Amino acid sequence: MNAGPSTPPHIGVFDSGIGGLSVLRRLRREMPQCAVSYIADNRHLPYGAKTPAWLVERCSALTQHLLERRGAILVLVACNTATTHTIGALRARWPGVPFVGVEPGVKPAIATSRRGRVAVIATEATLQSARLRSLIDEHGRRAELRLQPCPGLADAVDAGDDAAIDALVDEACAELVAAEVDTVVLGCTHYPLVAERFARRLGPDVVLIDTADAVCRRVRALLPVASDAPALGRGALSIEATGPVEGVQRAVERWLGEAVQVVQSDL
């Protein structure tokens, strides 16, 4: 945390693929002075099918890369599955480094819901995690919560397969409509990238909850004051992929709205 007034804070971000772009684009809009290094670990997606022990080992390697080779002073775990299973271990290994994770917005969803009928859509790993259960135990007593898996959707978003995305969103939304929910938590960072498809199928009376705003507020609170210094200009952005670069490059061009060349990682 030694960034001075003339040095832009450097944020390290990782996800299993391109889902974290939904958080990255919010960071770039809200905190443009910050430098950001993003890793899409697409060689190992999907994370939702991995064991907790594997996730801890892999996420530790990604974190070490961001801290030691990219110079990050804060690490954002831009993946719900990785957050629920690894962020405690990462904080224990690097106690001097601030970590920010993403988790389903159960609390704001319940506060927003008009009729107490809330759904959380996420990967199976997130839905089965102890962290989500803790959130439900803490905040869910005032609502009827539906846990809705959406298998394959994150993969389809990573692949940019619009036909598969539409089919999977249609299937999920049919169940949500039948359950008469009025608030839906987008519990995977991939899902906000296709939020307009959920909104179109669920209709204007259903509220979608994306926690990117809360994540950005937390990052801002943990960074040095220099993150607000206009004189710094726009911070540098680097994006690397551990697997095929082409799909990540297409996703960056489609969803990030910023010209940046994705590079191949040796991780």
Domain boundaries, the chain: 10-102+213-264, 106-210
Q: How confident is the model at residue 70 (pLDDT cuts 50, 70, 90)?
A: very high
Lowest mean pLDDT among 45-54, 84-93, 101-110, 112-121: 45-54
% residues pLDDT > 70 (the chain): 94
Return the CATH number of 106-210, one of 3.50.50.60, 3.40.50.2300, 3.40.50.1860, 3.40.50.1220. 3.40.50.1860
Give this prediction's pTM: 0.86
CA dist 89 and 79 (Å) reads: 15
Catalytic positions: 79, 188
Average pLDDT of the chain to the nearest whole number: 90
CA dist 7 and 157 (Å) reads: 35
What pLDDT does 74 receive?
97
Supply the DSSP symbol for 1: -
Please, are residues 191 and 153 in contact by the beta-carbon 8 Å criterion?
yes
Q: How confident is the model at residue 227 (pLDDT cuts 50, 70, 90)?
A: very low
Q: Do domains 10-102+213-264 and 106-210 have the same CATH topology?
A: yes
> What average pLDDT does the segment 34-51 reach?
91
What pLDDT does 116 receive?
93
Please, are residues 44 and 17 in contact by the beta-carbon 8 Å criterion?
no
Return the CATH number of 10-102+213-264, one of 3.40.50.1860, 1.20.140.10, 3.40.190.290, 2.70.70.10. 3.40.50.1860
> What average pLDDT does the segment 125-149 reach?
86
Q: Is 85 helix (H, G, I), strand (E, B) or coil?
A: helix
Residue 130 has pLDDT above 90, yes or no: no
Sheet holding 74-77, edge to edge: 99-101, 74-77, 10-15, 35-40, 237-241, 263-264
- Bridge-based pairing state of the strands 144-149 and 207-209: unpaired
What pLDDT does 101 receive?
95
User: What type of residue sits at position 217?
Assistant: R
Please, are residues 186 and 198 in contact by the beta-carbon 8 Å criterion?
yes
Query: If 0-12 CB within 10 Å is exposed, 13-18 middle and 19+ buried, where does residue 112 land?
Result: middle
What pLDDT does 159 receive?
86
The CA-atom distances, in angstroms, between 261 and each of 179, 234, 252, 258 are: 43, 17, 9, 10
CA-CA-CA-CA torsion sign (113, 123, 103, 7): negative
What pLDDT does 58 receive?
98
CA-CA-CA-CA torsion sign (212, 98, 125, 111): negative
